[in-house]
Structures are given as structure tokens and as C-alpha cells.
Amino acid sequence: MRRIISVIVAFLSIAAGVAKLMKVPQETTFFDSLGIDLKFMLILGIFQVVAGIFIFMPRARRMAAIFTAIAFSFSTMMIFMTGQIGFGLFSILPIVLALYLAASFHTEKRAERT
């Protein structure tokens, strides 16, 4: 189950990051509507792509899951700022999944030590 969730979270993170890096019109319009500089969009995009890739690297996956949750949280806060309550609530799901991964990777690491 964790493997499936890892793939889903990584895919969502990488897809969201690539959309920002490619300056997809919906992304640029979204950031413009909030008055947020497009440089932040590109930084967030890089952050999302790297975190999504690192989820599959054993030594980095817990931190990558945490970073992914942080990136999703930024996006979700911005969605709420636009007044899209329904979409904002739905956007909490990837945050929860990423935090679940971070917790499960931590539990796994603790079990390996004993």
C-alpha cells in the first residue's frame, strides 16, 4: 500500500512541478491572480520535482515526503486564498498522503535500528 501511495504522491508532486517549470498558462494566471512573483512559481516547481524524485531514494525519502507535504501546503493555501474552498479541501488529500509517507518511513527507519 505504501508503494502505491509513494507513486501517487511522487507523480502529483512531479506533475505539479513540471507544470510550473513549463509556465503552463493556468499556473502563471493562478500566481498572477494572487500577486505572487513568477520566480516563486519556478522555485516551487523545482522543489516539487526534486522532492517527487527523491521519494524513491531510500536515504532521502522521509525528508522528501516532508518537503512534498510542505510544497502541497503552499499550493493549498494559495488555492484557499483564491476562494476555491471545494478544490482547497480536496487539495488537502495529497498533504495527508505525503505526511502518512513521512511517518511510515520514520517508523520503518526506527524498526531497522532495533
What's the whole-model pTM score?
A: 0.88
Return the pLDDT at 108.
63
**Full DSSP string of 24-92:** -HHHHHHHHHTT--HHHHHHHHHHHHHHHHHTTSTTTHHHHHHHHHHHHHHHHHHHHHTT-HHHHHHTH
Return the pLDDT at 112.
59
Return the pLDDT at 109.
59
SS3 103: helix
* Cα–Cα separations (whole angstroms), residue 100 to 12, 24, 45, 59, 95: 15, 30, 22, 17, 9
Return the pLDDT at 1.
87
Return the pLDDT at 105.
84
Q: pLDDT tens track of the chain, all 114 residues? A: 889 999 999 999 999 999 999 999 999 999 999 999 999 999 999 999 999 999 999 889 999 999 999 999 999 999 999 999 999 999 999 999 999 999 998 766 565 555
Return the pLDDT at 5.
94
- d(Cα 60, Cα 102) in Å, to the nearest integer? 10
